[in-house]
Structure 1
């Protein structure tokens, strides 16, 4: 039933931003097409130090980034000229494809007051046929995302399909991604229609087969398992998964089915062939040295 429990590790993605890193994990690199998952916050920082959290312009290829906020706000800018203030409950889906650069800046101190900022960012690997697609960015408002409620259960479909729900978020492969809120005593299960499925406990506690799991833990289940989860207290879960895509290489912010494509992306970034955001082009994150371990970045490796 339960294949593995992943414990989040601490990682730094910038001088003022530490996160809990869930994926990739050495014993379970991907869950469906999801190849990366970070949980940031709640962040407590003095207003005068807010800009220390900024993530400067940096590149991606071969994936889609998905940003989802519980609280606070962040400003996204990218090579396409998109400038989007990301707010709680929205889905922000950026497809890097052949190459894009973007920044994430925290420009509203009031939105961070009292430890308000809290967000989840995932990367979704692209199918081979879409790895060189044109870059794109889409913002989806909360009213575009179906919500289901039952006794003690509130659930929003972020993307894909699950429990009979679908939405208009554009994806490139079969997947599901859910935000679930459970009241104490509520029971919940997993959608059955996907081969690989994981549950991340963002807040609260759940019980499964007389074992209790809490914040920072991801439970990954074998195909066909039908677990019943019991919320021991008010609990926030992120559920995700889908069909596996096969082996992927990951290095820094690059994902590809071909190792040589990663090498090309490194050179493209060094030579300026991946354009900076036109309204945020005065600074950027340089390509890390190959032999170093960049803060907040996965090591070069193949994932499957």
Structure 2
């Protein structure tokens, strides 16, 4: 038997200075803005670290905006978000839920703090990922996957170590509910103090962790604290995590899409011409209609 090589840490990245998206989402953009790292197929990571929002009658949020060429994945830890899009989908993302929206050929979208949460106020913590689509799928039909906490695929770790929630991909035979266009592993590792987990990803997969809560030790050597991003090397396969206190780790790993990227605002395409087409289509109302 060949010994599995450890996937080493490339960098531990501190959360960049936050900025507001609309008036409802205070986010740290780890990439592509904060750090120039290649995490393909993940194009963008906005991390909304824990913040207290005061009670408010008029919900905070982001008004109608378009997307084309990629998927948005929203993962909720605290607070609740109500959203709606131009294909008729709407819903509420509660703590523990995941919303996986395939914008693909184009939709309009809006998202606001859910009404009851807004009226009460309280802690708010979310992650939004933009997942790139390969060229052949960029103009496919928009779709929507809502994964509720109650339906999450779960692997329970031994010795009361906690659990791995599998959003997408496969952890030790437990398959996540999200369908993906390219190979993606996306988990919430919820570890109890002293809990340990071993993860394995192909050497060429781009891999990173967001420490959502707590403090962990990685590969038996490196301590990493809450709100840090761990960027791994593209070598080796195995990663070990030990929770030094009750912790939550968002785990992302995926096979890179080796295609050119052109981004303009909420459009993520392969060529300049496709960006011009997206703008033209949007201006002509081809993304549908959504009331402000």
TM-score by length of 2: 0.86
Deviations 1:206-257 (A, max 9, x none): 2235432112211122232423222221111000111000232222211112
Q: Contact 1:198/1:219 (CA < 8 Å) preserved in 2?
A: yes
Give the drift of 1:141. 2.7
Partner of 1:18: 26
* Structure 1 stretches lacking a partner, 5+ long: 283-304
Greater shift, 27-36 or 145-154, is seen at: 27-36
Q: Contact 1:42/1:117 (CA < 8 Å) preserved in 2?
A: yes
Structure 2 Cα separation of the partners of residues 100 and 145 of structure 1: 26
Structure 1 Cα separation of the partners of residues 118 and 24 of structure 2: 16
Give the drift of 1:56. 0.5
Partner-residue secondary structure (3-state), 1:57: strand
Partner-residue secondary structure (3-state), 1:44: strand
Q: How many residues align?
A: 278
Alignment of 1:133-152 (within 5 A): 133-150=140-157, 151=159, 152=161
The answer to whether structure 1 residue 129 and structure 2 residue 168 are counterparts is no
Greater shift, 192-201 or 65-74, is seen at: 192-201
Partner of 2:222: 211
Deviations 1:246-294 (A, max 9, x none): 23222221111223212322333344332232xxx23xxxxxxxxxxxx
Give the drift of 1:41. 4.4
Give the drift of 1:161. 2.2
Partner-residue secondary structure (3-state), 1:261: helix
1:172 is aligned, of 151, 171, 181, to 181
* Structure 2 stretches lacking a partner, 5+ long: 1-7
Q: Contact 1:43/1:116 (CA < 8 Å) preserved in 2?
A: yes
Structure 1 Cα separation of the partners of residues 214 and 199 of structure 2: 18
Structure 1 Cα separation of the partners of residues 99 and 128 of structure 2: 10
Partner-residue secondary structure (3-state), 2:252: strand
Partner of 2:4: none
2:92 is aligned, of 79, 85, 92, to 85
Structure 2 Cα separation of the partners of residues 216 and 54 of structure 1: 22
Partner of 2:5: none
Structure 2 Cα separation of the partners of residues 29 and 250 of structure 1: 16
TM-score by length of 1: 0.83
The answer to whether structure 1 residue 102 and structure 2 residue 109 are counterparts is yes
Root-mean-square deviation (CA, aligned residues, Å) is: 2.2
